Chain A
Amino acid sequence: MNPALSRRALLRAGAALTVAFALPRPARAAAAKTNDPGEVDGFLSIGADGRVTVYCGKVDLGQGLRVAIRQMAAEELGLGMDAITLVEGDTLLTPDQGPTAGSTGVARGGVQIRQAAATARHALIRLAAARLDRPPQDLDLRDGVVAPADGGRSIAMGDLIGEAGFALKLDPQARLRDPAEYRLVGKPLPRPDLPAKVYGSHTYVHDVKLPGMLHARVIRPPVVGATLLKVDESSIKAVKGARVVRLKDFLAVVAGREWEAVRAAALLKAVWSDSAPLMGHGAVRGWLKAGPFAAEEVLKAKGDATARLADAPPPVEYYWPVQSHASLGPSCAVAQVGSGAATIWTASQATHRFRPAFAAMLGLPVDKVRLIYLDGSGCYGMNGHDDAAADAALLAKTVGKPVRVAWSRDDELGWDPKGPPQLIAMRGAMSPAGQVLGWSTEMWLPKATAGLSHVPLLAPEAAGIAQPRGLVTGLLAQNGDPPYAAVDLEVKVHWLADAPLRPSNIRAPGKIANSFAVESFFDELCARVGLDPLVTRLIGLRDLRGVAVLTKAASMMAWAPRPIPNPRRDGTGRGIAYVHYKHSETYVAIAMEVAVDAEAGRIAVKRVTCAHDCGLVINPDALRMQIEGCILQTLSRTLLEETTFDRARVTATDQSGYPILGFLGVPDIAVELIDRPGQPPMGGGEAAATPVPAALANAVFDAAGLRLRTVPFTPVRVREASQAL
């Protein structure tokens, strides 16, 4: 797994992004660079000049990991930010730290690197102690030098560690620096990639150019599941140098220039079989209830919810539709495949995880396949990037030249793996004093295939190359139970054996819809008994960190307790929602003010306040940015987004069919961070997305007395709900 490369070559390669454009280096067995996550050398190397290279298996997708990882490593090593070079998501050089998903970049990836850096610091101090003849406790590592606190002889880090590296296991017990002494962690330091992004000089995977590289466009069938019957290669003869590549149902054109590939793809005449394997988006809700099912599972039970709810009003259903990642730019990748090895430049969130899949597809040993991360257009779960990488790899192997594949907008929205649909039925009873007496959550969700490591890819599927099949969804069933005390409770899930379109994990998988149902329904119970939703939440909450975020978000909105809906009946309202993400991670409360024009069906979000506690804050500015992004993207998903499709194909393939939020829909946002330096750092990329739909739905109810349970909250749905009052 860990081919040996010369240390110098690696440092040179790691020092600049130009590694992306270099051909794979021949293996030389000087000092081995390992990517073993159990070894300090897997994560760190120290040059003779004292510069440190950090090898990070997680990647920066735009969320700020590049600054956060540097802060965590530099803090432990006592260095300045500029002394650290970061290499991300390269299967040859970086340890496998798992995919950059599930809000784990800092919480797991950063924490692991921090521990490696702490181990390294202790080792350097031990080495220096022997050389300086001082007890280790007299020494500290600061600014690249191990020195005694009382002055006296010191020794530079680069003089302590040679070519051989640390050769040291990562010590999970290595003592971390005391947060009270932090110099970098907790500071709003600027992100190192921002200037290049603003000057247009940042390198994206789209910008990779290799000698002899061809540009390709893949032609997806007009209907899902169609087979390719006939290709008229002469139809593209007007485009000089363009040619057709076909592997069974995998059809592409390649050309020397990108526009020629675009033209050829548009001109190419192909005949496909008829196919209509889809159910159509209108049928999804019924299908979720009808099955076929793979299993039924009681996730949580306490007391006898059935008996308790025997006289309760009937269940109400919440629905979350199929949604696209809707990345702004098209997925893209570049691949070079030789007879014995392959290198793929990809915007993947999971280079290590896809490595065996690419090796199998190309018929190469795993250790001969190298995936290197480069930025793409932002993604929020597995979008089309990995499919584009598979397209490029298969084409590069077939044509024997480096190939760059870029998708079109239609392909992106039509063929990216989708966030799966969810149906959640809620039933409950609340005492006049606000205690939840009985609670039932019943969910209908596609079941992820056990042991399936990654989303099945389009290219091998079309080309008839075997790959493991099944569903990847992310953890959909979490946060389906209320965070408030309930006397009798049951949370049950009906697992569906399939999904309407190829699913994948999309930001905060499942948790957004589950919290939408749970936190909206909690307000429904409050409305039944005439209580204020904030006060009632505080009655039921047993976790003081939860209490802290709820009261903070509410006070930012000058929340005065009163029953809902708003007795003023002037079309304005406010709502609040809360989550303890996955019941074990970040705490978030979000409050919202809206104005609702029920006749026009228009919802205007005026103001959003958010209180956020993810434990130790590494970089408050980058964290705020993530929280703002969570809020705005989820407002977009809640107000506007549903992937529509008929029996044959996705029909929402542009901004009119799949609109996302624009500047005119952006509300005021205020975010308060609760920093807890004594607590472990948790994720900021997902949690704040979770309470958004319920906060919005609760505000709409407060404003207009209508309860929205189906996403998106389109004008038609608002008007229908209004007319049903």
Chain B
Amino acid sequence: MPGKPASPGKTKAPALLFLTVNGAERNAAIADGDMPLIYWLRGELELTGTHLGCGKGECGACTVLIDGQPARACQIPVAAAAGRSVTTIEGLGTPLAPHPLQAAFIAEQAAQCGWCTPGMVMEGAALLARDAQPGRDEVKAALDGHLCRCGSHHRVLRAVLRAAGGAKP
């Protein structure tokens, strides 16, 4: 996983950072560059679709894409994302123009409480971008770092395979 654990003790002079978020240029005046990306996305940009799970990089709920690669937004400092392109669940697709995986999640009704869902959708989208036809085992392996407490795993597997358009679950 990119980034390093945030160290809450440090204080730095405010810095102006430039990031691309969901295709738009954003700048952030951040007093503490060690602040994990998720607090900026949720607090400043009000992109609340990214969910904080464990805050330890163990559950995958906060996964976003940075330059197309899945990253844990609770672990990567805002400063480490400067100059890069961040995609959150809000930027992946919309009801009018859904990402195929979002459409597949809805078709398979692949969520219960939905806390882990955005992170799984982002991870699954990254998987499909690098492998358009993953098998069931590849999907399981790609998602193994994502925890779901409600037990929606089966539906999620089916959704990713449905979006891949091939293999039956």
- Residues on A lying within 8 angstroms of B by beta carbon are 61-64, 190-191, 193-195, 197-204, 206-207, 209, 238-240, 257-259, 262-263, 266-267, 326-330, 375-378, 380, 406, 408-409, 621-622, 625, 628-633, 636, 654-656, 660-664, 666, 669
Measured between alpha carbons, how far is A720 from B152 in the docked complex, in Å? Answer: 33
Task: Provide 19 A-B residue pairs closer than 8 Å at the C-beta atoms, listed in order of the A residue.
Answer: A62-B113, A194-B106, A197-B114, A198-B102, A199-B98, A203-B48, A240-B31, A328-B59, A328-B149, A378-B112, A378-B113, A621-B109, A628-B155, A629-B112, A629-B150, A655-B56, A662-B147, A663-B141, A664-B144
Report B-chain residues with C-beta under 8 Å of the C-beta of A330: 52-53, 55
Report B-chain residues with C-beta under 8 Å of the C-beta of A193: 114
Measured between alpha carbons, how far is A654 from B57 in the docked complex, in Å? Answer: 10
9 interchain residue pairs of minimum CB distance: A200-B49, A378-B113, A62-B113, A197-B114, A632-B151, A200-B89, A629-B151, A62-B112, A266-B8
* Interface of B, helix, strand, loop or mixed by DSSP: loop
Report A-chain residues with C-beta under 8 Å of the C-beta of B117: 197-198
- Say if the beta carbon of B157 comes within 8 Å of chain A: yes
Not counting A204-B115, A406-B52, A655-B147, a sample of 4 additional A-B residue pairs whose C-beta atoms are within 8 angstroms of each other reads A329-B53, A376-B113, A662-B144, A663-B157
Measured between alpha carbons, how far is A621 from B154 in the docked complex, in Å? Answer: 13
- Of B49, B115, B147, B154, the residue contacting A201 (CB under 8 A) is B49
Taking the closest CB of chain A, its distance from the CB of B162, in whole angstroms, is 13
Known: A194-B106, A328-B147. A654 touches B54 (CB 8 A): yes
- Say if the beta carbon of B71 comes within 8 Å of chain A: no
- Say if the beta carbon of B70 comes within 8 Å of chain A: no
Known: A328-B116, A628-B154, A655-B147. A664 touches B140 (CB 8 A): yes
- Say if the beta carbon of B90 comes within 8 Å of chain A: yes
- Say if the beta carbon of B69 comes within 8 Å of chain A: no
Taking the closest CB of chain B, its distance from the CB of A261, in whole angstroms, is 10
Residue of B nearest to A671 (CB): B154
The residue in B46, B143, B154 that gathers the most chain A C-beta atoms within 10 A of its C-beta is: B154
Taking the closest CB of chain B, its distance from the CB of A626, in whole angstroms, is 8
**Cβ of A238 and Cβ of B61 under 8 Å apart?**
no
**Cβ of B114 and Cβ of A666 under 8 Å apart?**
no
Report B-chain residues with C-beta under 8 Å of the C-beta of A669: 154
Interface members, chain B 119-169 (any A CB < 8 Å): 121, 139-141, 143-157
Measured between alpha carbons, how far is A202 from B50 in the docked complex, in Å? Answer: 11
- Say if the beta carbon of B23 comes within 8 Å of chain A: no
Report A-chain residues with C-beta under 8 Å of the C-beta of B109: 190-191, 194, 621-622, 625
**Cβ of B58 and Cβ of A200 under 8 Å apart?**
no
Report A-chain residues with C-beta under 8 Å of the C-beta of B90: 199-201
- Residues on B lying within 8 angstroms of A by beta carbon are 8-9, 11, 31-32, 35-36, 39, 42-43, 46-56, 58-59, 61, 88-90, 93-95, 98, 102, 105-106, 109, 111-118, 121, 139-141, 143-157
Report B-chain residues with C-beta under 8 Å of the C-beta of A267: 8-9
- Of A194, A200, A259, A621, the residue contacting B32 (CB under 8 A) is A259
Taking the closest CB of chain A, its distance from the CB of B163, in whole angstroms, is 12
Taking the closest CB of chain B, its distance from the CB of A67, in whole angstroms, is 9
The residue in A191, A209, A259 that gathers the most chain B C-beta atoms within 10 A of its C-beta is: A259
Report B-chain residues with C-beta under 8 Å of the C-beta of A195: 95, 106
**Cβ of B157 and Cβ of A200 under 8 Å apart?**
no
Measured between alpha carbons, how far is A191 from B114 in the docked complex, in Å? Answer: 12
Measured between alpha carbons, how far is A335 from B118 in the docked complex, in Å? Answer: 26
**Cβ of A655 and Cβ of B59 under 8 Å apart?**
yes
Taking the closest CB of chain A, its distance from the CB of B32, in whole angstroms, is 7
Known: A328-B53, A655-B56. A629 touches B89 (CB 8 A): no
Report B-chain residues with C-beta under 8 Å of the C-beta of A239: 11
Residue of B nearest to A668 (CB): B154
- Of B8, B118, B146, B151, the residue contacting A200 (CB under 8 A) is B118
Measured between alpha carbons, how far is A447 from B53 in the docked complex, in Å? Answer: 33
Known: A377-B115, A655-B56, A664-B140. A632 touches B61 (CB 8 A): no
**Cβ of A633 and Cβ of B150 under 8 Å apart?**
yes
The residue in A198, A258, A378 that gathers the most chain B C-beta atoms within 10 A of its C-beta is: A198
Taking the closest CB of chain B, its distance from the CB of A619, in whole angstroms, is 10
Taking the closest CB of chain A, its distance from the CB of B97, in whole angstroms, is 11
Taking the closest CB of chain A, its distance from the CB of B123, in whole angstroms, is 10
Report A-chain residues with C-beta under 8 Å of the C-beta of B36: 259
Report B-chain residues with C-beta under 8 Å of the C-beta of A62: 111-114, 150
- Of A64, A328, A663, the residue contacting B115 (CB under 8 A) is A328
Known: A632-B151, A666-B153. A625 touches B112 (CB 8 A): yes
Taking the closest CB of chain A, its distance from the CB of B11, in whole angstroms, is 5
Residue of A nearest to B48 (CB): A207
Measured between alpha carbons, how far is A622 from B150 in the docked complex, in Å? Answer: 13
Taking the closest CB of chain B, its distance from the CB of A95, in whole angstroms, is 24
**Cβ of A663 and Cβ of B111 under 8 Å apart?**
no
Taking the closest CB of chain A, its distance from the CB of B120, in whole angstroms, is 10
Report A-chain residues with C-beta under 8 Å of the C-beta of B156: 663
Measured between alpha carbons, how far is A200 from B95 in the docked complex, in Å? Answer: 11
Taking the closest CB of chain A, its distance from the CB of B41, in whole angstroms, is 11
Measured between alpha carbons, how far is A61 from B55 in the docked complex, in Å? Answer: 22
Report B-chain residues with C-beta under 8 Å of the C-beta of A204: 48, 51, 115
Residue of B nearest to A261 (CB): B39
**Cβ of B154 and Cβ of A666 under 8 Å apart?**
yes
**Cβ of B55 and Cβ of A199 under 8 Å apart?**
no
Taking the closest CB of chain A, its distance from the CB of B137, in whole angstroms, is 9
Report A-chain residues with C-beta under 8 Å of the C-beta of B155: 625, 628
Measured between alpha carbons, how far is A207 from B51 in the docked complex, in Å? Answer: 10
Measured between alpha carbons, how far is A199 from B58 in the docked complex, in Å? Answer: 23
Known: A621-B109, A625-B112. A664 touches B9 (CB 8 A): no
Measured between alpha carbons, how far is A37 from B49 in the docked complex, in Å? Answer: 36
Measured between alpha carbons, how far is A266 from B6 in the docked complex, in Å? Answer: 11
**Cβ of B106 and Cβ of A329 under 8 Å apart?**
no
Measured between alpha carbons, how far is A197 from B50 in the docked complex, in Å? Answer: 11
Report B-chain residues with C-beta under 8 Å of the C-beta of A629: 112, 150-152
Taking the closest CB of chain A, its distance from the CB of B149, in whole angstroms, is 5
Residue of B nearest to A412 (CB): B54
Measured between alpha carbons, how far is A199 from B47 in the docked complex, in Å? Answer: 11
Taking the closest CB of chain A, its distance from the CB of B16, in whole angstroms, is 17
The residue in B111, B146, B156 that gathers the most chain A C-beta atoms within 10 A of its C-beta is: B111
Measured between alpha carbons, how far is A63 from B98 in the docked complex, in Å? Answer: 24
The residue in B50, B115, B118 that gathers the most chain A C-beta atoms within 10 A of its C-beta is: B115
**Cβ of A630 and Cβ of B121 under 8 Å apart?**
no
**Cβ of A632 and Cβ of B153 under 8 Å apart?**
yes
**Cβ of A630 and Cβ of B151 under 8 Å apart?**
yes
**Cβ of A259 and Cβ of B39 under 8 Å apart?**
yes
Report A-chain residues with C-beta under 8 Å of the C-beta of B139: 663
Report B-chain residues with C-beta under 8 Å of the C-beta of A654: 54, 56, 58
Taking the closest CB of chain A, its distance from the CB of B40, in whole angstroms, is 8
- Of A200, A240, A666, the residue contacting B50 (CB under 8 A) is A200
Measured between alpha carbons, how far is A258 from B39 in the docked complex, in Å? Answer: 7
Taking the closest CB of chain A, its distance from the CB of B121, in whole angstroms, is 6
Measured between alpha carbons, how far is A191 from B117 in the docked complex, in Å? Answer: 15
Residue of B nearest to A64 (CB): B112
Known: A330-B52, A378-B113. A628 touches B152 (CB 8 A): yes
**Cβ of A663 and Cβ of B113 under 8 Å apart?**
no
Taking the closest CB of chain A, its distance from the CB of B84, in whole angstroms, is 20
